[in-house]
Amino acid sequence: MNFDFLLKLNKGGFLGLVKSEVYHGDHEVLEIPNLTFLEKKPKFLIELESKDFTKSQEKLQDLLIHGATAENPNRKEEKQKRRLYYLTEYILQLAGEKSSSNKQIESFSLVISREVMREGLVTLRTIRIFHDQPIYVIADQETKEFLEQQGISNLIIKIDISEASKQRIMRRFFKKRFVHLQTFHREEYIFKKMDAMSFALKNHSNTFFLDADIILCEKLSIHSDREIILSPHYCPARRFYQTFGNGFFNAGYVFCCDKSFPRFWRRLYLKDSRFYEQQGMDYIPEKYSTHIFDASHNIGWWRNKNDNFNEPLNIVTPEKVWSFHLHLEPNYNYGDNSIVRKKNYEIKNIMLNYLRDNKKTEVIDSIASVFRDVKS
């Protein structure tokens, strides 16, 4: 492909730009080329070129380009964010090539609070089925005492969650930020994700951060020499415009081998992200060399192929699944979001059927040992 300009990236490589025939004052505007011109596209980008994506793209462009609305009064700011989003897509295309490099996972890192400590225990036990690397956990006092009684080897727990610290975080950083979202997400716990990664990276050159509701089904491995590996949501192409709001990547499944990353991610969370710590992850490939996990990792209810979420989930599991992502805790606080509660219940049954069909007895036993409604 012919480019009019090449922008040198800090982490190596170049970004091709083309003239847009648009002017901002006296200055000619450059654009990132349309993805349809790119060669060797990853499968998920090829899907985005479907007719469904065209419709989705039109909705996105209508939202971000054709005038301000009550919800988006700052058209200039939204247009800048749109360009950053396409920058992310382009760099991901470069990262989509296969790598012959292998990297040993040196540690895992998690945040586990009293509200999810039983789910966190399942995550820890499924990690231990396949891995013996150190696991670093940020927790509160009650959770630490609970986990230390469970016989999890090589578990390093730091008490860094308390009522006082949570209130301090909310007052300092979130008095006004994200209040319009009105979801069940807990900003003060999210804030500790970066601390958990830093906790592990003080002693290791890399860490695999997992949310406390991840269930491993296989031994994880890293086949990339990139600094960061992220997990796309892999939503259907026709709902692609929705990921512009919530983020292209999932924030509960991140491999990192750069000690500066947690601080950068926190800055995105506090300054740039439109949806908690997640949407701002779209900008990570601008600073770090980035690869992606394929669709056999981190399977959650958001993979639903049905547009109507009142209908049963329609998720086709790959032949081999590395991990699922769902809440197992029946009393988990979803706020007023009954749909997400229902979808978590449905993806739980999808996961259990997969585990039974594939004779993943140890994983099922790890779940059943904590949640008695699951039969071994």
Residues 193 and 305 in one domain: yes
Residues 207 and 338 in one domain: yes
DSSP assignment of 127-172 = HHHH--S-EEEEEEHHHHHHHHTTT-TTEEEEEEE-HHHHHHHHHH
Residues 215 and 309 in one domain: yes
Residues 187 and 213 in one domain: yes
The answer as to whether 351 is a domain residue is: yes
pLDDT score, position 4: 66
DSSP assignment of 86-106 = HHHHHHHHHHTS-----B---
Residues 175 and 36 in one domain: no
pLDDT score, position 194: 95
Residues 62 and 83 in one domain: yes
Q: Which residue ranges in the chain fall short of pLDDT 70?
A: 1-6, 8-26, 32-100, 182, 237, 240-244
Residues 309 and 182 in one domain: yes
Q: Are strands 228-232 and 290-292 parallel, antiparallel or unpaired?
A: parallel
- Measured CA to CA, the distance from residue 19 to residue 38 in angstroms comes to 17
The whole domain housing 33 covers 5-95
Residues 208 and 345 in one domain: yes
Q: Per the structure, how many domains does the chain have?
A: 2
The answer as to whether 234 is a domain residue is: no
Per-residue model confidence as pLDDT tens digits over 277-316: 888 898 888 889 888 898 999 999 999 988 888 889 999 8
Residues 79 and 135 in one domain: no
pLDDT score, position 123: 98
Which tokens belong to 144? Answer: 């630490």
Dihedral sign from CA coordinates of 349, 292, 105, 268: negative
CA 95 to chain centre: 17
Least Cα distance to 34 among 81, 89, 95 occurs for 89
Residues 137 and 44 in one domain: no
The answer as to whether 19 is a domain residue is: yes
- Measured CA to CA, the distance from residue 280 to residue 269 in angstroms comes to 6
Per-residue model confidence as pLDDT tens digits over 50-87: 444 445 545 545 544 443 444 555 565 665 556 556 55
> Which of 72, 95, 118 finishes a domain?
95
Residues 307 and 214 in one domain: yes
> Which of 70, 95, 120 finishes a domain?
95
